[in-house]
Amino acid sequence: MKILVIDDHHLFREGLRYMLQSLDQQVSVTQCGSVEEAEQLASERQDIDVILLDMRLPGKCEIDAVDAVHMAYPDARLVVLSGETSPDLVNMAIGAGAMGYIPKTTSPDVMLSALRLILANGIYLPADILLAARVSQPVAEVIEHEVDENCSLDELSDRQREVLRLLIHGAPNKRIATELDIGEATVKSHLTAVFKALGARNRTEAVYAAARAGIRFE
């Protein structure tokens, strides 16, 4: 397993590298101190399985960092690490294609469990964000909307299932359109059907609903 850690603090990267050795005996950890360095690395190798990205890096706003890394490594599972757990940042990260949002204050055991979930095509959100959904209005835009854990995909076409698969894997609309050789307008139409089937109102809720319902794609 090949993991890329993107963080501007060398000591944090080293500590993370040491912890990640517990994830798999064959784990290989590569480190980058900036998004630009990671983009340069992408031109040489595309064999990265998981990327751990600090959203708050010098020279990049949060969403730009996520977008840039996602574009550079379209097949890797992208996980955001952050010292903040604001609902807006979590929503931004998941909506941009991240498969998980892990606070830097997370214990090693929880972080490893979160990464194992993500490697199994799951989605990880911090527990306090899930709990806050019941009382915090801003979080409503993320996950407050109740989802049907028994939702069915029977009404979806094969193409719509493909769109959902790529959505769960974090692909933005442009990449979905390219992968399926369809227009972005068609992607949006299919997403509308997917949202309806999952009882979701947006991409973030759809990912969360799929995870809650146990929907998995290889």
pLDDT per residue over 109-168, tens digit each? 888 888 888 887 777 877 666 555 443 333 334 344 444 555 566 778 999 989 988 887
Inter-residue contact 173 to 96 (CB < 8 Å):
no
Q: For 82-134, where are the alpha helices, taking DSSP H only? A: 87-95, 108-119, 127-132
Average pLDDT along the chain: 80
pLDDT bin (cut points 50, 70, 90) of residue 217 is low
Q: Rounded to whole angstroms, how far apart are CA atoms 142 and 215?
A: 19
Does domain 158-212 bear CATH number 3.40.50.1860? no
Domain edges within the chain: 2-129, 158-212
Looking at per-residue pLDDT, the higher value among 162 and 84 belongs to 162
DSSP count for the chain of H helices, then E strands: 10, 5
- Give mean pLDDT, residues 75-99: 83
Q: What is the pLDDT of residue 23?
A: 82
Q: Give the helix/strand (H/E) hosting 161.
A: helix 158-168
pLDDT bin (cut points 50, 70, 90) of residue 174 is confident
Does position 212 have pLDDT exceeding 70, yes or no?
no
Q: Rounded to whole angstroms, how far apart are CA atoms 77 and 138?
A: 27
pLDDT digits (tens, 9 = 90+) for 33-52: 999 999 999 988 888 999 99
Inter-residue contact 80 to 100 (CB < 8 Å):
yes
What is the strand order of the sheet 2-6 is part of? Answer: 28-32, 2-6, 50-54, 77-82, 100-103
Q: What is the pLDDT of residue 143?
A: 40
Q: What is the pLDDT of residue 51?
A: 95
Secondary structure of residue 5 in the 3-state scheme: strand
The CATH fold assigned to 2-129 is: Rossmann fold (3.40.50)
